[in-house]
Amino acid sequence: METASGMINNIFFIIFPIIVYQMFVTAGKRNFFVSHRTMLTILFSLSIILCMNFPYEFITNDYIFDLRQVPMIVGALYGGPYVSAFLFVVAAVCRILIGGEGTDIAILNQLLIAVAVPLLQPAFMQMQWATKILSVFLISFFSLSFNLLAGYFLFDHPIDRLYDIWLLLMINQGIVSVLAALLIEHIMRQEYLLNSLLKHEKMDTVSHFAAAVSHELRNPIQGIKGFIQLMQRYEYSREKQLEFHETILKEIQAAESLIDDYLVYAKPSYGQMVCISVKREVEHILKVLGPYALSNNINIVVKSLDKEACIMADRQKFHQALVNIVRNGIEAMPTGGKFYINVATHNAEVSIELADEGCRMTKEEVQRLGEPYFSTKTKGTGLGMMVTYSVIRQMDGHIKVSSAKGKGTVFTLLFPAATRTTTR
Ligand code: ADP
Ligand code: MG
């Protein structure tokens, strides 16, 4: 009874941290066990400490045993040399504090595990599932035989009870290690599936996109072609020609803005994140959008522009995000009106408020913002907001939208404030 419940405790000390660990599986991380090494180290250190403090008698009360070698071996195999070194220190300190007979052999054994197992790690990571599991069993099995041999050769301890105790101990430890490895393999497999699902979804969106964009591009291109053919065929008055040029330019602009929307999203690598001054960027955007706003009878009012507000961002994409919001605001006020900009810093958070007086959105529309192809406009692409949302999320920012009757729509962008030192 003693043996069983003690052993079950030990097994629990090993399995529990792994299960806790599983809760940290996050999408998007490439190698979960590498990216969470610290977590792995802390949890397995806990396993070791608990195992060593609650050992169990094995068959007779002469043999007190614990499963500390399991987290050490599994930790070294999946975490690598640094994790292994740290776990060794934890186990050795624990063993010294516990004291008593056999401390020297135990620490020697732990040292051997801590040094030898990480050497096997690269080969281990290349193995097939079944080979991996077998290797874990063998490593765990033979690491215990070292205790026996070191005792015999270095300290002249006799080898007794080889079959009825030691062999069972070795098998016992081997099986628990396999159990731990199986759990970890399972977690890694889930992580892999999650990541490939995400990648698949992204590819799916991008290919949808490509189809949509090429389809959308056909309209303006056909328009341009038609006008040019007309001008080739007939002699038009200068006035008429200018009118055609105007239309052609408009079509080209439509195509351009579509490509802009598309490219920012489709570009797989993320540009450089630098500390930028929000004031400067907003001023830049005002310059770019000024003529467009004027021609639509829109007055852009800057309420306040905090000079100190700085955020970490990719300049190009930040522009794109702001331009998309301002453009929508302008488009929401077909009969003209005012567009307000307000930039402020509060508690290490930069807020950029962009408000229009245009047609408001329903709750349902607000919820759908950022969804690809969601557009209520006849000539809309429904890509602008999606790009804006994805860009701002990548910059650790948040978007709050409030749209109320008679007040228009307010977009509030919140970013963590950056320190000024590296501003460019
Ligand atoms: P598009 O502008 O091509 O329609 P967006 O992704 O930029 O696509 O916007 C999606 C939809 O969100 C718009 O069609 C519009 O219905 C709504 N919307 C976005 N911004 C505003 C706003 N400021 N006021 C009212 N509706 C808006
Ligand atoms: Mg838009």
pLDDT digits 0-9 by tens, 153-198: 887 777 778 888 888 889 999 999 999 999 988 888 887 887 777 6
Answer for the pair 13, 44: CB distance below 8 angstroms, yes or no. Answer: no
Q: Point out the ligand 1 atom lying closest to the alpha carbon of residue 328.
A: 20
Instruction: Give me the pLDDT at residue 423, please.
Output: 45
Same domain flag for 319 and 341: yes
Check whether 422 has a pLDDT greater than 60: no
Same domain flag for 149 and 295: no
Q: Specify the range with the lowest mean pLDDT, choosing from 29-33, 144-148, 247-251.
A: 29-33
- The pTM for the full model equals 0.52
Same domain flag for 160 and 84: yes
Q: Specify the range with the lowest mean pLDDT, choosing from 32-41, 77-86, 230-239, 326-335.
A: 32-41
Same domain flag for 152 and 244: no
Closest CA to 114 of 21, 45, 35, 19: 45
Check whether 263 has a pLDDT greater than 90: no
Q: Residue 374 and residue 80: Cα distance in Å, rounded?
A: 47
Residue with CA at minimum distance from ligand 1 atom 10: 375
What does the CA dihedral 156, 157, 159, 164 come to, rounded to 10 degrees? -170
- Three-state DSSP state, 394: helix
Q: Specify the range with the lowest mean pLDDT, choosing from 8-12, 59-63, 75-79, 97-101.
A: 59-63
Instruction: Give me the pLDDT at residue 28, please.
Output: 47
Q: Is residue 89 part of a domain?
A: yes
Rounded average pLDDT over 54-61: 84
Residue with CA at minimum distance from ligand 1 atom 18: 328
Q: Residue 83 and residue 118: Cα distance in Å, rounded?
A: 9
Distance between Cα 47 and ligand 2 center (Å):
54
Same domain flag for 71 and 191: yes
Domain boundary among 199, 226, 255: 199
109-115-121 Cα angle (round to 5): 120
Q: Point out the ligand 1 atom lying closest to the alpha carbon of residue 408.
A: 24
Answer for the pair 45, 75: CB distance below 8 angstroms, yes or no. Answer: no
Q: Concatenated DSSP letters for 76-103?
A: HHHH-HHHHHHHHHHHHHHHHHH-STTH
| Number of domains observed in the structure of the chain | 3
Beta carbon of 340 within 6 Å of any ligand 1 atom: no
Q: Is residue 392 part of a domain?
A: yes
Beta carbon of 389 within 6 Å of any ligand 1 atom: no
Same domain flag for 189 and 83: yes
Same domain flag for 226 and 188: no
Closest CA to 359 of 347, 343, 376, 379: 376
Same domain flag for 109 and 141: yes
Same domain flag for 157 and 261: no
Q: Concatenated DSSP letters for 106-172?
A: HHHHHHHHHHHHHHHHHHHHHS-HHHHHHHHHHHHHHHHHHHHHHHHHHH------IIIIIHHHHHH
Q: Specify the range with the lowest mean pLDDT, choosing from 5-19, 31-45, 134-148, 386-400.
A: 31-45
Distance between Cα 374 and ligand 2 center (Å):
10
Domain boundary among 227, 243, 266: 266
Q: What percentage of the chain reaches a pLDDT higher than 70?
A: 89
Band of residue 40 on the pLDDT scale cut at 50, 70, 90: confident
As beta bridge partners, residue 54 has: none
Check whether 81 has a pLDDT greater than 70: yes
Residue with CA at minimum distance from ligand 1 atom 2: 380
Q: Concatenated DSSP letters for 310-373?
A: EEEE-HHHHHHHHHHHHHHHHHT-TT-EEEEEEEEEETTEEEEEEEE-SPPPPHHHHHHTTSTT
Same domain flag for 42 and 169: yes
Check whether 421 has a pLDDT greater than 60: no
Beta carbon of 355 within 6 Å of any ligand 1 atom: no
Distance between Cα 355 and ligand 1 center (Å):
13
Distance between Cα 94 and ligand 2 center (Å):
63
Q: Is residue 308 part of a domain?
A: yes
Q: Residue 348 and residue 311: Cα distance in Å, rounded?
A: 10
Q: Point out the ligand 1 atom lying closest to the alpha carbon of residue 381.
A: 3
Residues 6+ apart with CB under 8 A from 241: 231
Beta carbon of 321 within 6 Å of any ligand 1 atom: no
Instruction: Give me the pLDDT at residue 133, please.
Output: 94
pLDDT tens digits, 389-407: 988 988 899 999 999 877 8
Band of residue 32 on the pLDDT scale cut at 50, 70, 90: low
Burial track 165-179 (b if 16+ CB lie within 10 A, e otherwise): bbeebbebbbebbbb
Q: What are phi and psi of 403, to 5 degrees?
A: -130, 115
Beta carbon of 336 within 6 Å of any ligand 1 atom: no
Question: Which H/E stretch holds residue 207?
Answer: helix 167-233
Domain boundary among 236, 266, 296: 266
Instruction: Give me the pLDDT at residue 353, please.
Output: 96
Q: Is residue 422 part of a domain?
A: no
Amino acid of residue 355: A
Q: Which bound ligand lies closest to the C-alpha atom of 329? A: 1
pLDDT tens digits, 298-337: 999 999 999 999 999 988 788 888 988 998 999 999 999 9
CATH number, domain containing residue 115: 1.10.1760
Distance between Cα 210 and ligand 1 center (Å):
21
Q: Residue 219 and residue 225: Cα distance in Å, rounded?
A: 10
Same domain flag for 130 and 81: yes
Burial class (CB within 10 angstroms; exposed 0-12, middle 13-18, buried 19+) of 85: middle
Q: Point out the ligand 1 atom lying closest to the alpha carbon of residue 379.
A: 3
Band of residue 74 on the pLDDT scale cut at 50, 70, 90: very high
Q: What percentage of the chain reaches a pLDDT higher than 90?
A: 39
Band of residue 103 on the pLDDT scale cut at 50, 70, 90: confident
Beta carbon of 359 within 6 Å of any ligand 1 atom: yes
Q: Is residue 252 part of a domain?
A: yes
Band of residue 202 on the pLDDT scale cut at 50, 70, 90: low
Domain with 64 in it: 2-199
Q: Which of 256, 257, 292, 328 to mutate to test the pocket of ligand 1 (most atoms within 8 A of CB)?
A: 328
CATH number, domain containing residue 240: 1.10.287.130
Beta carbon of 376 within 6 Å of any ligand 1 atom: yes
Q: Is residue 18 part of a domain?
A: yes
Average pLDDT, the chain: 85
Q: Point out the ligand 1 atom lying closest to the alpha carbon of residue 385.
A: 6
Check whether 424 has a pLDDT greater than 60: no
Closest CA to 136 of 118, 148, 149, 124: 124
CATH number, domain containing residue 374: 3.30.565.10
Distance between Cα 154 and ligand 1 center (Å):
79
pLDDT tens digits, 214-241: 777 887 888 899 889 988 888 889 998 8
Q: Point out the ligand 1 atom lying closest to the alpha carbon of residue 374.
A: 10
Q: Is residue 130 part of a domain?
A: yes
Rounded average pLDDT over 235-260: 85
- Three-state DSSP state, 417: strand
Band of residue 420 on the pLDDT scale cut at 50, 70, 90: low
For residue 300, CA distances in Å to 164, 218, 287, 355 come to 87, 34, 11, 10
Residue with CA at minimum distance from ligand 1 atom 16: 376
Q: Point out the ligand 1 atom lying closest to the alpha carbon of residue 329.
A: 23
Rounded average pLDDT over 278-295: 86
Beta carbon of 341 within 6 Å of any ligand 1 atom: no
Same domain flag for 254 and 387: no
Q: Point out the ligand 1 atom lying closest to the alpha carbon of residue 369.
A: 12
Q: Residue 48 and residue 71: Cα distance in Å, rounded?
A: 7
